[in-house]
Amino acid sequence: MDQDILAYQRDRALDWLRNEIKASSEPDELDQHLDALIRRIAGLQNGRLYGFVRLPEAQQREPSSLEPAQIKALRETYIKLKPVASNYLYDQEKVLVPSGTRITVEHANHDKHQHLWIQLPNQRQGFIYAPHWEVSEVLRNQEIKLAVPYYSQRDNWEKFHGPGGRQCNLTAHCMAADYLLKGDLGRRAKEKGYQEAEDLYGEILYRYGDTTNPQAHTPALKDLGIESYFSYTGSIKDLILCLDHDVPVPMGVAYKASGHYVCAVGHKAEGVYIHDPFGIRMGMTDNYENSSGEYDFVTWEWLEAKWVDQGSEAGWMRVMTAVNGTSTGAPTGL
């Protein structure tokens, strides 16, 4: 079995065990019964079990006076290169942090398995297991909500790409492009007599291929002055980095049998805001309300189930790296 898949399955099993411990009416007794099983799963014979043991309530509620951009270790723990239990990692893949240590960070954002991805002022990055850390109120309540225009695919012009129902990719890209161009795409469309920005973008895109072809959008965007690339290896961390740099993200998600494209336009502690060009989706079903999908909010669990469902670094995303020669700050080479 692939080692990454095996590690993922182990992590999920350990997550389940940790939740059982928390929910038990006699957690101390359950701790004793499960300890040996957890060690067998983790392959750990001696030493502490980091990343999945129950924390004492007193530690979880310990008051502090953190600075706005600080995090504080509630116990001896690790900063890691991967969001997995520390005993899976080699020594060179983790740094031991003493209890009580305070660290100033630029970013502290959600990742999988109760981990946070952090970026330090020196641009170094890593992962921390969230229950082992206290995070300042400012970092916890960070919210980004980009003023990206919302367009519906349902009423799109059919001349170049057929019915609007198949133009989700085109529309998601058009929303992001018009935002980065500060509305210039929409203005140019009106000047040319088009009803919507999607009409002009659809005509430009038609020179290079169909709406469903991710690679056709690269030269179409370049004609508008936007440098970009399409990645099949996006992660939640990459998505947040783009949004933190004021860059919306067209992304392919596992909706319906044929897939779907939406545009990520913001994030907060619990998840991500998306513009869904088809409307408001009803949970994780394939049913929609025929209404505006503007700033539809989806959780991190939704992202794991519908975007990085094939692996933590297997998300489909468009990364827009420069506009009219000026870098956006979005990551390159994903």
Give 65 or 211, the one with higher predicted confidence: 211
Lowest mean pLDDT among 5-9, 90-94, 215-219, 244-248: 5-9
Question: Could you tell me which residue, 331 or 53, shows the higher pLDDT?
Answer: 331
Residue 86 CA to residue 150 CA, distance in Å, equals 42
Q: Which of 236-250, 292-306, 315-329 is predicted with the least confidence, judged by mean pLDDT?
A: 292-306
Give the separation between CA 191 and CA 179, rounded to whole angstroms: 18
Average pLDDT of every residue of the chain: 83
Which pTM was predicted? 0.69
> In this predicted structure, what is the pLDDT of residue 28?
59
**Overall average pLDDT of the 87-95 stretch:** 89
Quote the pLDDT of residue 103.
93
Which segments of the chain are extended strands (E)? Answer: 70-73, 77-80, 94-97, 102-104, 107-110, 115-119, 125-129, 133-135, 144-145, 226-234, 249-253, 260-268, 271-275, 280-281, 288-289, 296-299, 315-323, 326-327
Distance (Å, whole) CA 200 – CA 160: 10
Among 49-53, 65-69, 165-169, name the one with the lowest average pLDDT.
49-53
The angle subtended at Cα 47 by Cα 46 and Cα 51, nearest 5°, is 120
For residue 244, give the nearest of 314, 129, 145 by alpha carbon.
Answer: 145
* pLDDT the model gives residue 44: 44
pLDDT band at 33 (very low <50, low <70, confident <90, very high): low
